[in-house]
Structure 1
């Protein structure tokens, strides 16, 4: 199974046109606003002697922080260009990075065989995936966890659409970083609110804890307000 050529090219195009400068991608916020609070929720349930795999790692900002908490950190992304950025930015070689298509069951299983049971960190991947690929993304989380791993998954809710619409309708249209997302054909907040927990359950995952949050962006509205996108988080284990 593979993602569509359009989807793959959209992500590679986005990352090829990104310099790797911290914060240039709209979602590339400082770890203090993402993986730091997220990991505090995950660590209540996770064994840090197991590796952690950051699914959809992009340029690796969050992966590098996770490497300070877990025995081993591996960042994976569909885009080869993103992985190149991540490797260049990891000057201390704190983490490992590799290209991985999450809907390729054989490739995900091969990673699991190399790492054993792992923890998983996944921030805003399902909602951005094409509808036919979302079940496979959830199944990839379950495959990697095995019996002992735990996952932290955060996904945008429908409330984020109103924020994105507000940002897009400002003077001059979408701000630059958001416009780049749209220009590459990427479609945030595509999943419905009940779709995500349904996909997680169908993949054989059980929710250990959950709550509301916001995914902090590196862009602001015309009035200077930071764009924070409403989201929901889940800590998960294999059922």
Structure 2
């Protein structure tokens, strides 16, 4: 049994395999779009709710491309990913002050508790992570977010809407086969799970967090569509936190 299997289980093993083979060049990972069409579009949505005096955690940080941009607005920023290979890639590709990366499975309650004990209440940024969790893991992920934000922090969550399934089906059914960026995801046994839109706020409500703001904002991918523009997946966003 590998260390990743021991600590993270099967999903961690699949993600580790994916990130070990992922290209290092920006734009070669399906969801790793440029920050100006991802985190910078999200900032006006969460900025009114994120104070400047708390750390910020980027859960599922991947290459760290978005984490570094977050570090330009918040200090300190910690990027967390279940895959040590992803964290190693993030460290190689970045070197910004005020940002660090760490391999951790926050769905482990002990991990979330230790992070909160170390950092205190924190803000959390999540982009496209919950829908990758198996149904039993979703509640644990939401509970981890609740632990991390504590009483003062807020979490911004952006997840593909149920309607994104049609966009992904169109990409997988292209005459020449699915694009390599998407094929690589499925080749490693990583497949987005179907999740009704209402399950996203319900997961966080079950963890004791209230929806403080919400709306629709597409998730931009790195894959060009027929018109040459990047494919945009229908998505919803939430800001969640404790009331009061």
- Give the CA deviation at 1:5: 3.1
**C-alpha deviation, 1:87, in angstroms:** 0.8
| Structure 2 unaligned residues grouped into runs of 5+ | 1-5
Distance in structure 2 (CA, Å) of the matches to 1:182 and 1:161: 14
- Please tell me whether residue 229 in structure 1 is matched to residue 239 in structure 2: no
- Of residues 163, 169, 183, the one that matches 1:159 is 163
Measured in 2, the distance between the counterparts of 1:106 and 1:213 equals 33
User: Equivalent residues in 2 for 1:146-225 (5 A)?
Assistant: 146-222=150-226, 224-225=228-229
Question: Quick check: 1:18 aligned with 2:29?
Answer: no
Residue 45 of structure 1: which of 49, 63, 66 is its match? Answer: 49
1:15 CA displacement: 0.4
Shift in Å at residue 94 of structure 1?
Answer: 3.9
Distance 1:189 1:216 in 2: 18
Gap change, CA 1:4 and 1:82, over 3 Å in 2: closer
Q: TM-score with structure 1 length normalisation?
A: 0.95
**1:9 alignment partner in structure 2:** 13
Structure 1 unaligned residues grouped into runs of 5+: none
Deviation of 1:223 after TM superposition, in Å, equals 5.1
- Tell me the distance in 2 between the aligned counterparts of 1:206 and 1:25: 32
Structure 1 residue 89 displacement after superposition: 1.2
Query: Which structure 2 residues correspond to residues 8-87 of structure 1 after superposition, within 5 A?
Result: 8-87=12-91
Distance 1:94 1:70 in 2: 8
Moved over 4 A (4+): none
- Distance in 1 separating the partners of 2:225 and 2:47: 34
State the SS of the aligned residue for 1:152.
Answer: strand
Distance 1:31 1:111 in 2: 26
2:124 alignment partner, one of 120, 124, 132? 120
Please list, as runs of the form range in 1=range in 2, the aligned pairs for 1:90-109 lying within 5 A after superposition. Answer: 90-109=94-113
Distance between the aligned counterparts of 1:158 and 1:68, measured in 2?
32
Shift of the alpha carbon at 1:163? 0.2
RMSD: 1.5
